[in-house]
Amino acid sequence: MNKRSLGRSGLQVSPLAFGGNVFGWTVDEATSFSLLDAWVDAGFNFIDTADVYSRWVPGHTGGESETILGKWFKRSGKRSQVVLATKVGMEMGPGRKGLAPAYIRGALEDSLRRLQTDYIDLYQSHDDDADTPLAQTLATYGKLIDEGKVRAIGASNYSAARLAQALEVSRQEGLPRYESLQPLYNLYDRAAYEDTLEPLCVQQGVGVINFYALASGFLTGKYRSSADLGKSPRGKGAAKYLTARGLRILAALDDVAARYSATPARVALAWELARPSITAPIVSATSLAQLAELVAATQLTLDAAAIEQLNQASRPQAPTPAG
């Protein structure tokens, strides 16, 4: 499998990242292990999680995903075959959030313990922390890199203005820089990334590992009416895509998929993979059949006509003039 360079970090990653938010949430430990084994056996090496996964589940406290990954590393012995990404900064409890130096250090040690490893390949700021000076956060990451506990750093959910500011602080003060960005991006959610973030990432050589690559499953074609939303625990997240534009996108996906003897999910991911600024969309699977779909998406190359058809279908419609 052809690996892709993640920013200027030196890390080489597969063209898709497995999103670990499902581990301990919609898939149990045994299923998680089988999915992870199949992922690596298929030639993929990139896995993304976060300390806060899956705190939103009743009875969970966060750390469930990392814990399952740690057990898998210990059982499988495959840690060296994985580019492991995790995140820090989202609230883990009262007073336990942000990117202050002391908090990052404590959170990292907790993640390392749960993951049963002594280093993180890509440690990401899960959310911007306006209360902590960027230089303090970046300097802390620099020390962790010097100590061998972190190899590279990335940012998630940053605006273009704040990412640009962080990159400038790194340049001016000789500190490590964010080598990757994790934004919301898919065939439906295009504008926020393409308008401001994409030009910055291209100019600065920042890798992009976008989340919600399949729009909470909407781009698989699974949810075509409100009656379909109860098909899975994630269905309610797809409700906002059931618009005239959303259905127009599904129609285009269906058409292109038919021409390529593929599925809407494969086509939607192939469209993202063809965009030069995208390094590795983050995707999840809860079964081996779904994982096979993800693998197949990386083997599909769309022609220019198919890409343009999808571009046109997914462009927001201009307002209709009054009168």
Please check whether residue 294 is in contact with residue 285, taking contact to mean a CB–CB distance below 8 angstroms: yes
Identify the active-site residue in 53, 185, 188, 193.
53
19's tokens: 């999103």
Please check whether residue 115 is in contact with residue 51, taking contact to mean a CB–CB distance below 8 angstroms: no
Torsion of CA 222, 87, 80, 105, to 10 degrees: -160
Neighbours of 278 (CB within 10 A): 21
Residue 178 is a catalytic residue: no
Positive or negative torsion for Cα 92, 94, 100, 104? negative
57's tokens: 């589940």
| Angle between helix 64-76 and 29-41 (nearest 10) | 60
Q: Residue 182, SS3?
A: strand
Please check whether residue 20 is in contact with residue 69, taking contact to mean a CB–CB distance below 8 angstroms: yes
Please check whether residue 77 is in contact with residue 94, taking contact to mean a CB–CB distance below 8 angstroms: no
Instruction: Classify residue 5 as left (phi > 0), alpha (psi -120 to 50) or beta.
Output: beta
Amino acid at 33: F
Residue 273 and residue 271: Cα distance in Å, rounded? 6
Peptide bond into 9 cis (omega under 30): no
Helix (H) or strand (E) holding 179: strand 178-182
Helix (H) or strand (E) holding 306: helix 304-314
User: Which of the residues are catalytic?
Assistant: 53
